[in-house]
Amino acid sequence: MRDVTVEPPPLLKRLFEKISGSIDPAVSEVLGRALEGKEVSKKDAVELFKAGGAELAALMLVADEMRRRTVGQAVTFVVNRNINFTNVCFARCRFCAFSTEEKSSEAYLLTVDQVAARAEQAWKTGATEVCIQGGLHPGIEEDYYENICRAIKGRAPLIHIHAFSPMEVFYGAWKAGLTVKEYLKVLKEAGLDSMPGTAAEILDDEVRDALCPAKIGVRDWVEVVKEAHRQGIPTTSTIMYGHIEQPQHWADHLELIRTIQKETKGFTEFIPLSFVYPNTPLYRIDGARPGATGAEDLKMHAVSRLMLNGWIRNIQASWVKLGPRLAQICLLAGANDLGGTLMEENISRAAGVSSGQKMDLGEMVRIIRGIGRTPAQRNTTYKILKVHE
């Protein structure tokens, strides 16, 4: 996308001019260019991540304006069910409190029929999507992921299957003795509709070596995502922040996501995932910081909106990670989506999140209306299904 100069609304222009006189000139210059539709560079992003006080207020104001220009006044959400099919995982990532060993008394693995039954139940209660992820279980059959897709489509043909992170796809391909390209074709033919762009964490190999040394590196993550996009399988994109990384890593990560999107146009949204720390080895043993601050959460959503402007339309505020109240405020800092109702969620809960496993549809609508926006139910690929006037 080329830079396009856009004149900001008169009121916003006056407010920004009033604030900009009292903030760091470097931040003011970057925000001014962003308001004109200019591309925000990695260097610009690092400056914005330093924002505080009036600078943070200005950053939120500009990000909210770019959100308004891009998607309007609707705040979207999807009615879905989250299904974590196993907590057994050989990777044992340092930021994860959900996984366990196969021999543990707490270990579980859902059968294909159990996963399909939960998906069917979700469809019957109004869900349009099932989000399916789990640990990297060493004992699963080579066709387990494929059979999950086939079984779900057999019982609920119209439900959207949003499943399997790039790490899971890489692992599934290895188990099946196929290339990633071949394996994605198998999954798509079996009914896979889209993929979560999780397992990204921070797309920097040095950081990943400390967080999740058993997971694929940046190069493989990028290649799985690009191949999915080439095959017409859209994905989300994510970042997990607030642990051992630095703002430069945030900027580098956003730049890489933008670069991929310029090539493939396959990302449907970007989801900042604030590190949930209380029960994780990364915090309790390794000494990582205790998650992001509220200001960092706001800056992450705002800078994501500005840096991805023109390439990724939708920025999600994860109520599971942030809690409903902070997620609501992130809707004033560039975000335009609240994610899913979920029905169940185990991974963040195990890490120590306190915001619950599901959100009632009425509560979702109330949160959105509370900031004067229009609630709109969407499907996985952002087609509006119902507007709650």
Q: How confident is the model at residue 356 (pLDDT cuts 50, 70, 90)?
A: low
Tens of pLDDT, residue by residue over 132-161, are: 999 999 999 999 999 999 999 999 999 999
Q: Which of 108-112, 349-353, 370-374 has the lowest mean pLDDT?
A: 349-353
Average pLDDT, integer, range 52-59: 94
CA proximity to 159, closest of 199, 197, 198, 117: 117
pTM of the model: 0.94
Distances (CA, A) of 158 to 36, 80, 124, 307, 379: 42, 13, 11, 35, 12
Angle between helices 166-176 and 218-230 (to 10 degrees): 90
Q: How confident is the model at residue 4 (pLDDT cuts 50, 70, 90)?
A: very low
| Dist. CA 277–CA 255, nearest whole Å | 26
pLDDT at 150: 99
The one-letter code for the residue type at 79 is V
Average pLDDT, integer, range 91-120: 93
Tens of pLDDT, residue by residue over 24-38, are: 899 999 999 999 999
pLDDT at 353: 47
pLDDT at 285: 84
Average pLDDT, integer, range 224-248: 98
What percentage of the chain exceeds 70 in pLDDT?
A: 92
* Backbone angles phi and psi of 337, in degrees to 5: -145, 145
Q: Is the pLDDT of residue 8 over 80?
A: no
Q: Is the pLDDT of residue 352 over 50?
A: no
pLDDT at 9: 67
Sheet holding 160-163, edge to edge: 80-84, 129-133, 160-163
Q: Is the pLDDT of residue 217 over 70?
A: yes
Q: Is the pLDDT of residue 348 over 60?
A: no
* Average pLDDT across the chain, whole number: 93
Q: What is the total residue count of the chain? A: 389
Q: Is the pLDDT of residue 357 over 80?
A: no
Give me 21's structure tokens.
């006189």
Confirm if 90 and 138 have CB atoms less than 8 A apart. yes
- 132 exposed, middle or buried (CB, 10 Å; 0-12, 13-18, 19+)? buried
SS3 annotation, the chain: CCCCCCCCCHHHHHHHHHHHCCCCHHHHHHHHHHHCCCCCCHHHHHHHHCCCCHHHHHHHHHHHHHHHHHHCCEEEEECEEEEECECECCCCCCCCCCCECCCCCCCCECCHHHHHHHHHHHHHCCCCEEEEECCCCCCCCCCHHHHHHHHHHHHCCCCEEEECCHHHHHHHHHHHCCCHHHHHHHHHHHCCCEECCCCCCCCCHHHHHHHCCCCCCHHHHHHHHHHHHHCCCCEEEEEEECCCCCHHHHHHHHHHHHHHHHHHCCEEEEEEEECCCCCCHHHHCCCCCCCCCHHHHHHHHHHHHHHCCCCCCCEECCHHHHCHHHHHHHCCCCCCEEEECCCCCCHHHHHCCCCCCCCCHHHHHHHHHCCCCEEEEECCCCCEEEECC
Q: CATH 3.20.20.70 in the chain, residues? A: 74-387
Fold that domain 74-387 belongs to in CATH:
TIM Barrel (3.20.20)
| Dist. CA 349–CA 357, nearest whole Å | 7
pLDDT at 279: 80
| Dist. CA 31–CA 163, nearest whole Å | 37
| Dist. CA 385–CA 47, nearest whole Å | 39
Q: Is the pLDDT of residue 187 over 70?
A: yes
| Dist. CA 363–CA 291, nearest whole Å | 26
Confirm if 183 and 146 have CB atoms less than 8 A apart. no
Q: Which of 17-26, 178-187, 207-216, 303-312 has the lowest mean pLDDT?
A: 17-26
Tens of pLDDT, residue by residue over 302-337, are: 999 999 999 999 999 999 999 999 999 999 999 999
Q: How confident is the model at residue 6 (pLDDT cuts 50, 70, 90)?
A: low
pLDDT at 1: 43
Q: How confident is the model at residue 344 (pLDDT cuts 50, 70, 90)?
A: low
End-to-end CA, the chain: 33
pLDDT at 7: 58
Average pLDDT, integer, range 372-386: 98
